[in-house]
């Protein structure tokens, strides 16, 4: 029997509601990281903003934990909770594009695949994640790093406005002109301030890109990493991409006898004129022989879904992250010591560039504070077997401990594990105090606390 209170909520919502007694509950409670096994009291798969308001009110009035789920990719499993309410936005995925004003609006549960496919039709794109199944909402609210960041800034830098349901059930617009403090906080502050039911972005002329993955031998990794460090400082801003430790999956473009070997891959994305792509990537190609590659012109959404199969739902995840100002020789040595030991084909380490347009936004212009970092590093442990948890977590931690002394104190909140909650102030540096003030104004009772939490 469902609890009477959940039944009261059921009467209020147009979307689907799942309690432990409902068929579909097991699927509804499941999140992307299979390590997370929580049992909410009720999952509300909202059909519209009214449903969101009802679910927020229900959690507030009954003093229940409240988790908000967009794309479900949170590694610490912030899209679910034990015994509380889950607002699942996965039915609210519409994207509309206005080519005349070069803007696009996504509902709060849209994924980057939804977004990129819609804007591609108009030859437009904005900075988004490198995997198509990641949520637009969660990624943008934390900052948003992707191939186009050097040219157009972080995803949050392209946010024009957002519709937000706040803890008291109000529906607010946040933009430079309305509730500008909330708008400031949403651009990096994560899910701390309310449920964002739609996000409006600037979009830019990008349709086909030139790029893809190139695989270098581990013996050449030092040269590639040193080249990357120097090159990316003033490379043309249409050049995006990142180095990645990668065990070769059994793909046709990789010689069969090398499947299962470890490489330093470089995933490149040239978003300038296509005919300049080959020469734009030439300096990288000249560093060392390329063992295997799948580089060429392709639709931007194709690159953004090229690696989806490596990260299906249902893997175990444990990640750690840091911002980096300068990739010193000592830092590169630490990468060279731990990278080649990457234990699973799904696992990787990415060193994303966040300079260029990201640096033209002032440190205090948005909540995202590390405008002086050149790189955001993520050590992403991902593997299928729970039996291998200890070994994989140990690899992530060992790698992190070796690189942390060469990194900033803070890291990107969207790449962090649950055990990094203690780093929250460092992640926001001088912006933390203002975030606390804004949290006190919009969510004084910390209803939205299932996240990298900014305490009021």
Ligand X SMILES: Cc1cc2nc3c(=O)[nH]c(=O)nc-3n(C[C@H](O)[C@H](O)[C@H](O)COP(=O)(O)OP(=O)(O)OC[C@H]3O[C@@H](n4cnc5c(N)ncnc54)[C@H](O)[C@@H]3O)c2cc1C
Residues that bind ligand X (CB under 6 A): 68-75, 78-79, 89, 108, 129-131, 134-135, 137-139, 141-142, 144-146, 190-191, 195-196, 311, 414-415, 451
Least separation in angstroms between residue 347's CB and ligand X is 11
Q: Which is nearer to ligand X, 298 or 380 (CB)?
A: 380
Distances (CA, A) of 160 to 183, 202, 438, 443: 9, 6, 19, 22
Minimum CB distance to ligand X, residue 173 (Å): 14
Which residue of the chain is nearest ligand X when measured via CB?
A: 138
Q: Minimal distance in Å, beta carbon 327 to ligand X?
A: 19
Identify whether the C-beta of residue 147 lies closer than 8 Å to the C-beta of residue 328. no
Nearest approach, Cβ of 356 to ligand X (angstroms)?
16
Residue 94 CB, nearest approach to ligand X (Å): 13
In the structure encoding, which two tokens stand for residue 99, read together?
Answer: 């080519």
Residue-wise DSSP of 367-388? S---TT-SEEEEEEEEES-GGG
- Residue by residue, DSSP assigns 242-254 as EEEEEEPPS-TTS
CB of 279 to ligand X, least distance (A): 26
- Cβ proximity to ligand X, 288 vs 439, nearer residue: 439
Residue placing its CB nearer to ligand X in the complex, 227 or 415: 415
Least CB distance from residue 443 to ligand X, whole Å? 11
Q: Give me 183's structure tokens.
A: 């708008």
Tell me how far, at minimum, the Cβ of 11 lies from ligand X, in Å.
Answer: 24
For the record, the structure tokens of 410 come out as 């803070």
Q: For ligand X, give the closer residue by CB, 138 or 277.
A: 138
Which one, 90 or 287, has the nearer CB to ligand X? 90
Q: Which is nearer to ligand X, 142 or 277 (CB)?
A: 142
| Residues 199/137, Cβ–Cβ less than 8 Å | yes
How many CB atoms sit inside 10 A of residue 170's CB? 13
Residues 6+ apart with CB under 8 A from 51: 12, 13, 14, 15, 44
Sign of the CA dihedral with 50 first, then 55, 60, and 61 last: positive
Max Cα–Cα distance, the chain, nearest Å:
68
- Within 203-261, strands assigned E span 204-205, 208-217, 239-247
Shortest distance (Å) from residue 38 CB to ligand X:
12
Q: How many angstroms separate the CA atoms of 403 and 426, rounded?
A: 17
Residue closer to ligand X, measured from CB, 149 or 298: 149
Helices (H), 32-74: 49-61
* Dihedrals phi, psi of 180, to nearest 5 degrees: -65, -25
Secondary structure class of 393 (helix, strand, coil): helix
Nearer to ligand X, 287 or 378 (CB): 378
Q: Which is nearer to ligand X, 80 or 287 (CB)?
A: 80
């Amino acid at each position: 029997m469902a609890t009477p209170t959940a039944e009261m909520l059921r009467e209020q919502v147009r979307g689907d509601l799942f309690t432990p007694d409902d068929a579909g509950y097991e699927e509804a409670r499941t999140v992307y990281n299979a390590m997370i096994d929580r049992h909410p009291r009720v999952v509300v798969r909202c059909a519209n903003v009214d449903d969101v308001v009802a679910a927020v009110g229900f959690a507030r009035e009954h003093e229940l934990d409240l988790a908000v789920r967009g794309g479900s990719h949170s590694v610490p499993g912030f899209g679910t909770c034990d015994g509380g309410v889950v607002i699942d936005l996965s039915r609210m995925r519409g994207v509309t594009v206005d080519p005349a004003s070069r803007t696009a609006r996504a509902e709060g549960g849209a994924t980057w695949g939804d977004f990129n496919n819609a804007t591609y039709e108009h030859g437009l794109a904005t900075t988004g994640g490198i995997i198509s199944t990641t949520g637009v909402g969660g990624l943008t609210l934390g900052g948003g790093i992707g191939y186009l960041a050097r040219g157009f800034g972080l995803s949050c830098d392209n946010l024009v406005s957002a519709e937000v349901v706040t803890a008291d059930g109000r529906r607010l617009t946040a933009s430079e002109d309305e509730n500008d403090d909330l708008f400031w906080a949403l651009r990096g502050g994560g899910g701390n301030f309310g449920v964002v039911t739609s996000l409006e972005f600037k979009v830019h002329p990008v349709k086909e890109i030139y790029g893809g993955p190139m695989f270098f031998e581990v013996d050449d990794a030092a040269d590639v990493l040193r080249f990357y460090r120097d090159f990316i400082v003033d490379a043309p801003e249409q050049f995006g991409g990142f180095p990645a430790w990668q065990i070769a999956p059994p793909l046709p473009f990789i010689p069969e006898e090398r499947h299962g070997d470890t490489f330093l891959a470089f995933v490149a994305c040239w978003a300038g004129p296509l005919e300049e792509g080959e020469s734009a990537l030439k300096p990288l190609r000249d560093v060392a022989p390329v063992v295997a590659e799948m580089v060429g012109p392709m639709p931007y959404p194709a690159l953004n879904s090229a690696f989806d199969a490596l990260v299906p739902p249902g893997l175990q995840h444990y990640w750690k992250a840091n911002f980096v100002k300068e990739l010193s020789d000592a830092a590169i040595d630490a990468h060279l010591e731990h990278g080649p030991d990457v234990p699973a084909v799904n696992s990787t380490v990415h060193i994303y560039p966040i300079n260029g347009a990201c640096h033209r936004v002032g440190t205090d212009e948005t909540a995202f504070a590390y405008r002086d970092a050149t790189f955001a590093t993520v050590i992403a442990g991902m593997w299928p077997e729970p039996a291998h948890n200890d070994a994989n977590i140990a690899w992530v931690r060992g790698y992190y401990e070796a690189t942390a002394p060469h990194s900033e104190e803070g890291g990107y909140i969207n790449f962090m594990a649950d055990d990094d909650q203690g780093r929250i102030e460092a992640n926001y540096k001088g912006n933390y105090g203002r975030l606390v003030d804004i949290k006190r104004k919009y969510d004084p009772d910390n209803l939205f606390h299932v996240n990298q939490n900014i305490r009021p």
